[in-house]
């Protein structure tokens, strides 16, 4: 029997408005961004309207600039039969205000566009860039009035769907999700919308004994494009490892594949980026100049799961920048990608854009630049209209040996030469990014970071002729991630991480000739352990997340909100009786035969290739260097044949022409 | 080393702008507004003059911005242009480029002098929920009968104590129906909703002289509570109706742009 259509949700804004003066930064809850879209609830000219509530599970100031959400928001709203609105995590002060509510009761999680309750939408799509947003999902579900466990949801609840990089292992949140998608979202959100529309047009049927809700999820699952955790059972071995993950429903595929968008020129989004009134973390127009990376850095999940490389052409980039600036009024343009200087025509792009906007206030930035791809011509073009504030490079490993382990083959000479060029051309500050806790790492590897920083300063003083230069060393803890060659690695325990970082800090401070020129930024190792638990966890970790959330965990990516003790207690509580514990998930090295909790989720990478690459990494005698298959032969990672994709790169040979004066 | 950036030419024309903060965009803070305004200028292609230096900024002077959460029909700023432009053209382009709710009402050529100096006082209308007109009348009488009413407010420098009475030039309880502004596009009060509208509320109108520290309508409400023991329940709604030169004889506030027109 078709379930009843939920009543049209009313805007909660009139209820919210009297309460807004009592919360911090109320502007983040009122919407009204430039280029936002308001549609009627029944938007479709005929048939059913498909309604998406898109969430980035962090504060508005972090979530609003997120490219993924902005792209999907625009792609979906371009269809007249789809309505997409946005929602973000509310700060704890607002959560308290919403729970206290007013005379009508609590105020539910709402969208910022039309302030409609999230529960009234068909799909609640949540984009996870990081696992530390999981507790914020639970807050949003609970505020929305939707049961946090998928199994308890009914006909009036939205389909809770996860995407983003963390969705490549959604098992820790499997109990809270109805579905997950892997990879690029542009096409799959439309395919999902079609399935929902058809099901709604048929009167929301439940067939073959399935409830209407299960029927919809089943249709999504059999498409092979959407992972629906409830249709898979996980069995465990007596020692706690996963025995197997298998479909429990006929027609549901054994493995779910990631989505790959080919031809980025055909999808030039965002065309009209949202311009908020509130201050956010990125205040610029960002153009993704290519997607994917084939450099082969073994720690890098983003590089592994976004293959192959697909470039946007110089002409599309130029068109997007021009219309993006006009649509937003931003004066900074970010040329985004995982390694922006690797674009086959980056020099032409930078020169062309710098020429076009010469004399205006528009400045360009290249957020990710490799040491070996940096050249001063490029850097000069990028800073022509803007500030020459600082350059950031990421050697990642302190010693040459370690950089070989992670396959980030940057030599010390490369690095010194590059920074010398930068300092001699007027840059005063260089920021170096490293990781601590990489496989096979010793104290000595980490202490070499201090040597490197001192050499950088010494060289900088030599070439610039003065002492007023700085080098900031920024260190993050390494967290092994699924779908990478390091997915089998044991994570370094936080005690050793902290000890190593302390030794490094003491070493940096010891030499007074350099100490004041070297900035040192690091975080303690404990949040990394929790991130590690959530990254490589299986479904049993769901109880840990729930327990931490019940104990008050919110905004775990924010150091002022994160509590290791709360998570440690939650792990003890949530994993009681399973025979496995926090260390088992984090510091334990896995072997070849172990079924990994995400093995049924197909990123296209050949597991044997990943394993061999892992073995090459830890073999001290190995001379194997994985180069970039953009300009060297294929190294058989498996993605292109498995997913029927190919590398798409230039050069196109085209140039950016001057814009005609309006 | 890079050369010093070239000096920018001074503006050839200064325009004064009156704008409104209406509806939900009353929650825009002054920082938020200034960022939005600078971007609107780019989109509207207003030929701005820029400051000199490595990091040139468009020449915009803000004056007397209202507190976050207060609606306003009378906010003012001045912009310096690099090319003479018709004020009506700038008005249309800016209003188009700003989101609905941040509305440009008037643009005139500046006659020189300081805009901030013209903004001596403001007229505020404050809607206080869950307060009857009679209660309000009693509180206002007690407040006006006092020579000094000390209130406290948290400022950037910590909790400050100051007099809320001296800045009050006029304070009355008004009848809502008589003062409704007809034909306005966007609602400036709490959004139309039966539940909210049906709530009883008292409406105060006040003329506040600007000074240091600035006494805001919230401070006057705090003063009313001090003198009559009223309880603060729901959030009040403040709206600035006018801002400009103060006629101390009549206690009225003039139009700061009207003066410019006469001399322009």
Residues A403 and A535 in one domain: yes
Residues A349 and A445 in one domain: no
A331 and B42 in contact by Cβ < 8 A?
A: yes
Q: How confident is the model at residue A616 (pLDDT cuts 50, 70, 90)?
A: very high
The proportion of chain A whose per-residue pLDDT surpasses 70, expressed as a percent, equals 98
Supply the DSSP symbol for B29: -
The total number of structural domains that make up chain A: 3
Say yes or no to pLDDT of B262 above 50: no
Q: What is the pLDDT of residues A179-226, one digit of tens each?
A: 999 999 999 999 999 999 999 999 999 999 999 999 999 999 999 989
Distance from CA of A389 to the nearest CA of B (A): 11
- Residue A101, phi-psi category: left (phi > 0), alpha (psi -120 to 50), beta (remainder): left
Query: Which residue among A14, A21, A27 sits closest to B196, beta carbon to beta carbon?
Result: A14
Contacts of A135 (CB under 8 A, 6+ apart): A545, A548, A549, A553, A554, A555, A556
8 A C-beta contact, residue A545 and residue A534: yes
Give the pLDDT mean for A395-404: 94
Supply the DSSP symbol for A279: -
Residues A496 and A618 in one domain: no
Lowest mean pLDDT among A99-113, A256-270, A382-396: A382-396
Residues A520 and A400 in one domain: yes
- Candidates B19, B39, B199: best to mutate against A (most CBs of A within 10 A) is B39
Q: Which residues pair with A234 in a beta bridge?
A: A245
> What pLDDT was estimated at residue A598?
98
Residues B166, B155: Cα–Cα separation, whole Å: 20
Q: What is the pLDDT of residues A313-327, one digit of tens each?
A: 999 999 999 999 999
> What pLDDT was estimated at residue B186?
35
Strands B246-247 and B158-163: unpaired
DSSP A561-577: T--HHHHHHHHHHHTTT
Based on C-alpha coordinates, what's the Rg of chain B? 20
B50 and A361 in contact by Cβ < 8 A?
A: yes
Give the pLDDT mean for A22-32: 94
Domain presence at residue A470:
yes
> What pLDDT was estimated at residue A270?
96
> What pLDDT was estimated at residue B185?
34
Q: What is the pLDDT of residues A453-466, one digit of tens each?
A: 999 999 999 998 88
A279 and B32 in contact by Cβ < 8 A?
A: yes
Query: Which residue among B31, B42, B193 sits closest to A279, beta carbon to beta carbon?
Result: B31
> What pLDDT was estimated at residue A3?
43
B29 and A15 in contact by Cβ < 8 A?
A: no
Q: What mean pLDDT, rounded, does chain B reach?
A: 86
Please list every residue in chain A whose beta carbon sits closer than 8 Å to the beta carbon of residue B195: 14-15, 103-104
Residues A281, A355: Cα–Cα separation, whole Å: 28
Residues A362 and A402 in one domain: no
Residue A405 or residue A363, greater confidence = A405
Residue B7 or residue A271, greater confidence = A271
Nearest one of B142, B150, B151, B200 to B171, comparing CA atoms: B142
Residues A317 and A464 in one domain: no
8 A C-beta contact, residue B191 and residue A13: yes
Domain presence at residue A467:
yes
Say yes or no to pLDDT of A662 above 80: no
Nearest one of A306, A401, A325, A326 to A364, comparing CA atoms: A325
Supply the DSSP symbol for A595: B
CATH number of B13-114: 3.30.70.580
Tokens of A491: 């994570």
Query: Which residue among B39, B50, B100 sits closest to A275, beta carbon to beta carbon?
Result: B39
Say yes or no to pLDDT of A371 above 60: yes
Overall residue count recorded for chain B in this entry: 264
For residue A143, give Cα distances in angstroms to A36, A128, A240, A582: 24, 19, 34, 29
Query: Which residue among A27, A103, A361 sits closest to B27, beta carbon to beta carbon?
Result: A27
Find the closest chain A residue to B191 by CA distance.
A14
Domain presence at residue A6:
no
Residues A338, A443: Cα–Cα separation, whole Å: 29
Residue A328 sits at the chain B interface (C-beta within 8 Å): yes
Residues A398 and A378 in one domain: no
Find the closest chain A residue to B46 by CA distance.
A329
Residues A501 and A637 in one domain: no
Q: Which residues pair with A235 in a beta bridge?
A: A244
- Candidates A329, A363, A464: best to mutate against B (most CBs of B within 10 A) is A329
B99 and A33 in contact by Cβ < 8 A?
A: yes
Q: Which of A175, A203, A236 is the last residue of a domain?
A: A236
Nearest one of A232, A256, A234, A233 to A243, comparing CA atoms: A234
Tokens of A64: 């609003």
B27 and A33 in contact by Cβ < 8 A?
A: no
> What pLDDT was estimated at residue B181?
44
In chain B, where the domains are located: 13-114, 121-244
Residues A367 and A434 in one domain: no
- The CATH code of the domain that includes A304 is 3.30.750.210
Residues of B with CB under 8 A from a CB of A: 1-2, 24-25, 27-29, 31-33, 35-36, 38-43, 45, 50, 54-56, 68-69, 97, 99-101, 129, 190-193, 195-196, 234-235
A327 and B43 in contact by Cβ < 8 A?
A: yes
Q: How many Å from the N-terminal Cα to the C-terminal Cα in chain A?
A: 61
Residue A522 sits at the chain B interface (C-beta within 8 Å): no
Residues A349, A381: Cα–Cα separation, whole Å: 10
Query: Which residue among A13, A22, A278 sits closest to B235, beta carbon to beta carbon?
Result: A22
Domain presence at residue A253:
no
Say yes or no to pLDDT of B263 above 60: no
Peptide bond into B213 cis (omega under 30): yes
Lowest mean pLDDT among A346-355, A358-367, B80-89: A358-367
A15 and B99 in contact by Cβ < 8 A?
A: no
Domain presence at residue A204:
yes
What SS3 string covers A255-276?
CEECECCCCHHHCCCCCCCCEC
Q: What is the pLDDT of residues A495-524, one digit of tens each?
A: 999 999 999 999 999 988 898 999 999 989
Q: What is the pLDDT of residues A435-488, one digit of tens each?
A: 999 999 999 999 999 999 999 999 999 998 888 899 999 999 999 999 999 999
> What pLDDT was estimated at residue B1?
46
| Three-state DSSP state, A592 | coil
B68 and A26 in contact by Cβ < 8 A?
A: yes
8 A C-beta contact, residue A425 and residue A379: yes
Please list every residue in chain A whose beta carbon sits closer than 8 Å to the beta carbon of residue B43: 326-329
Q: How confident is the model at residue B189 (pLDDT cuts 50, 70, 90)?
A: very low
In this prediction the pTM is 0.93
Residue A443 sits at the chain B interface (C-beta within 8 Å): no
> What pLDDT was estimated at residue B176?
62
Find the closest chain B residue to A21 by CA distance.
B69
Q: Which of A236, A267, A301 is the last residue of a domain?
A: A236
B97 and A329 in contact by Cβ < 8 A?
A: yes
> What pLDDT was estimated at residue A659?
79
Please list every residue in chain B whose beta carbon sits closer than 8 Å to the beta carbon of residue A26: 27, 68-69
Lowest mean pLDDT among A504-508, A609-613, B203-207, B256-260: B256-260
Residue A440: Cβ-neighbour burial (10 angstroms; 0-12, 13-18, 19+) = middle
Please list every residue in chain B whose beta carbon sits closer than 8 Å to the beta carbon of residue A277: 25, 28, 32-33, 35-36, 99
Lowest mean pLDDT among A356-360, B99-103, B214-218: A356-360
| Three-state DSSP state, A99 | helix
Q: How confident is the model at residue A2 (pLDDT cuts 50, 70, 90)?
A: very low
Residues A89 and A209 in one domain: yes
ipTM over 0.90: no
Q: How confident is the model at residue B259 (pLDDT cuts 50, 70, 90)?
A: low
Say yes or no to pLDDT of A309 above 90: yes
Q: Which of residues 46-75 of A touch B (CB under 8 A)?
A: none
Q: What is the pLDDT of residues B205-257, one digit of tens each?
A: 999 999 988 999 999 999 999 888 877 777 899 999 999 999 989 999 999 99
Query: Which residue among A21, A29, A361 sits closest to B69, beta carbon to beta carbon?
Result: A21
A387 and B54 in contact by Cβ < 8 A?
A: yes
Strands A50-59 and A82-89: parallel
Query: Which residue among B32, B56, B234 sits closest to A361, beta carbon to beta carbon?
Result: B56
Domain presence at residue A279:
no
Residues A455 and A333 in one domain: no
> What pLDDT was estimated at residue A110?
98
Structural domain that includes position A550: 388-479+491-588
DSSP A264-328: GGG----SS--B-SS--S--SEEEE-EE---S--TT-HHHHHT-S-EEPPHHHHHHHHHHHHHHH
Give the pLDDT mean for B137-162: 92
Please list every residue in chain B whose beta carbon sits closer than 8 Å to the beta carbon of residue A27: 27-29, 32, 68
Residue A114 sits at the chain B interface (C-beta within 8 Å): no
Residue A105 sits at the chain B interface (C-beta within 8 Å): no
Query: Which residue among A15, A30, A283 sits closest to B27, beta carbon to beta carbon?
Result: A30
Q: How many CA atoms lie within 13 A of A521 on its CB side?
A: 9
> What pLDDT was estimated at residue B264?
37
A279 and B2 in contact by Cβ < 8 A?
A: no
Say yes or no to pLDDT of B193 above 60: no
Q: What mean pLDDT, rounded, does chain A reach?
A: 93
Say yes or no to pLDDT of A368 above 80: no
Q: How confident is the model at residue A389 (pLDDT cuts 50, 70, 90)?
A: low
The proportion of chain B whose per-residue pLDDT surpasses 90, expressed as a percent, equals 64
Please list every residue in chain A whose beta carbon sits closer than 8 Å to the beta carbon of residue B99: 32-34, 277
Residue B186 or residue A623, greater confidence = A623
- Candidates A11, A12, A15, A18: best to mutate against B (most CBs of B within 10 A) is A18
A15 and B195 in contact by Cβ < 8 A?
A: yes
Residues A398 and A381 in one domain: no
């Amino acid at each position: 029997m078709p379930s009843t259509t939920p009543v049209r949700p009313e805007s909660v804004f009139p209820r919210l408005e009297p309460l807004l003066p009592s919360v911090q930064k109320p502007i983040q809850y009122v919407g009204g961004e430039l280029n936002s879209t308001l549609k009627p609830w029944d938007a479709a000219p005929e048939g059913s309207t498909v309604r998406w509530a898109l969430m980035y599970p962090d504060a508005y100031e972090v979530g609003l600039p997120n490219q993924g959400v902005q792209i999907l928001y625009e792609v979906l709203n371009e269809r007249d039969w789809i309505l997409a609105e946005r929602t973000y995590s509310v700060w704890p002060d607002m959560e308290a205000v919403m729970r206290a509510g007013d005379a009508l009761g609590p105020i539910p999680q709402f969208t910022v566009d039309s302030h409609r309750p999230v529960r009234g939408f068909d799909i609640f799509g949540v984009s996870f860039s990081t696992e530390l947003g999981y507790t914020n999902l639970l807050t949003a579900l609970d505020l929305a009035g939707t049961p946090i466990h998928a199994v308890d949801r009914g006909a009036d609840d939205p389909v809770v769907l996860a995407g983003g990089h963390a969705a490549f292992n959604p098992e820790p949140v499997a109990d809270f999700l109805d579905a997950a998608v892997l990879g690029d979202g542009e096409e799959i959100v439309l395919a999902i919308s079609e399935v929902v529309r058809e099901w709604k047009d048929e009167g929301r049927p439940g067939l073959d004994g399935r409830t209407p809700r299960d029927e919809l999820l089943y249709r999504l699952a059999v498409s092979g494009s959407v992972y629906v955790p409830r249709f898979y059972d996980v069995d465990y071995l007596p020692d706690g490892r996963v025995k197997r993950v298998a479909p429990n429903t006929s027609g549901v595929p054994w493995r779910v594949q990631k989505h790959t968008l080919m031809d980025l020129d055909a999808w030039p989004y965002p065309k009209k980026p949202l311009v908020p009134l509130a201050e956010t973390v990125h205040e610029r127009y960002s153009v993704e100049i290519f997607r994917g990376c084939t450099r082969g850095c073994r720690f890098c999940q983003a590089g592994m799961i976004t293959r192959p490389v697909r470039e946007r052409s110089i002409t599309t980039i130029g068109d997007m920048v021009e219309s993006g600036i006009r649509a937003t009024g931003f004066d900074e343009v970010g040329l985004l990608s995982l390694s922006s200087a690797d674009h086959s025509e980056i020099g032409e792009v930078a020169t062309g854009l710098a020429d076009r906007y010469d004399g205006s206030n528009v400045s360009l930035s290249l957020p990710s630049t490799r040491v070996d791809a940096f050249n001063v011509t490029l850097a000069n073009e990028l800073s022509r209209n803007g500030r020459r504030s600082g350059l950031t490079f990421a050697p990642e490993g302190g010693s040459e040996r370690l950089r070989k382990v992670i396959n980030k083959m940057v030599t010390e000479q490369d690095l010194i030469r590059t920074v010398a060029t930068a300092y001699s051309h007027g840059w005063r500050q260089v920021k170096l990014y490293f990781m601590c806790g990489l496989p096979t790492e010793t104290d000595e590897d980490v202490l070499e970071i201090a040597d490197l920083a001192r050499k950088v300063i010494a060289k900088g003083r030599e070439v610039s002729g003065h002492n007023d230069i700085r080098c900031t060393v920024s260190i993050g803890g390494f967290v092994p991630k699924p779908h990478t060659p390091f997915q089998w690695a044991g994570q370094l325990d936080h005690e050793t991480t902290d000890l190593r970082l302390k030794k490094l800090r003491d070493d940096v401070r010891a030499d007074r000739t350099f100490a004041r020129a070297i900035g040192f930024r690091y975080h303690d190792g404990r949040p990394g352990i929790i991130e590690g638990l959530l990254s490589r966890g299986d479904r049993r970790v769901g109880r840990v997340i729930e327990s931490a959330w019940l104990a008050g965990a919110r905004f775990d990516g924010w150091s002022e909100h994160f509590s290791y003790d709360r998570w440690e207690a939650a792990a003890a509580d949530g994993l009681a009786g399973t025979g496995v514990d926090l260390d088992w998930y984090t510091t334990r090295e896995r072997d070849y035969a172990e079924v990994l909790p995400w093995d049924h989720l197909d990123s296209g990478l050949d597991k044997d290739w990943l394993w061999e690459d892992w073995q090459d990494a830890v073999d001290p005698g190995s001379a194997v260097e994985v180069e970039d298959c953009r300009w060297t032969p294929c190294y058989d990672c498996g993605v292109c044949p498995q997913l029927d994709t190919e590398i798409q790169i230039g050069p196109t040979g085209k140039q950016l022409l001057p814009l005609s004066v309006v | 080393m890079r050369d010093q950036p070239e000096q920018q030419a001074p503006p050839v024309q200064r325009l004064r702008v009156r704008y409104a903060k209406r509806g939900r965009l009353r929650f825009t803070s002054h920082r938020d507004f200034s960022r939005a305004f600078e971007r609107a200028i780019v989109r509207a292609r207003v030929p701005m003059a820029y400051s000199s230096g490595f990091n040139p900024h468009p020449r915009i002077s803000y004056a007397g911005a209202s507190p976050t959460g207060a609606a306003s029909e009378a906010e003012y700023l001045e912009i310096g242009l690099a090319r003479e432009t018709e004020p009506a053209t700038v008005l249309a382009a800016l209003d188009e480029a700003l989101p609905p709710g941040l509305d440009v009402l008037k643009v005139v050529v500046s006659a020189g002098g300081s805009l901030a100096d013209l903004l001596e006082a403001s007229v505020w209308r404050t809607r206080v929920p869950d307060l009857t007109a009679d209660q309000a009348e009693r509180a206002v009488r007690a407040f006006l009968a006092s020579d000094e009413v000390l209130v406290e407010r948290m400022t950037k420098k910590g909790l400050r104590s100051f007099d809320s009475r001296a800045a009050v030039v006029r304070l009355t309880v008004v009848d809502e129906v008589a003062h409704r502004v007809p034909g306005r596009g966007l609602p400036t009060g709490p959004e139309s909703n039966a539940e909210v509208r049906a709530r009883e509320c008292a409406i105060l109108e006040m003329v506040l002289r600007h000074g240091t520290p600035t006494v805001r309508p919230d401070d006057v409400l705090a003063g009313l509570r001090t003198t009559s023991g009223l309880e603060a329940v729901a959030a009040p709604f403040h709206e600035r109706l006018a801002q400009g030169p103060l006629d101390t004889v009549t206690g009225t506030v003039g139009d700061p742009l009207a003066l410019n027109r006469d001399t322009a």
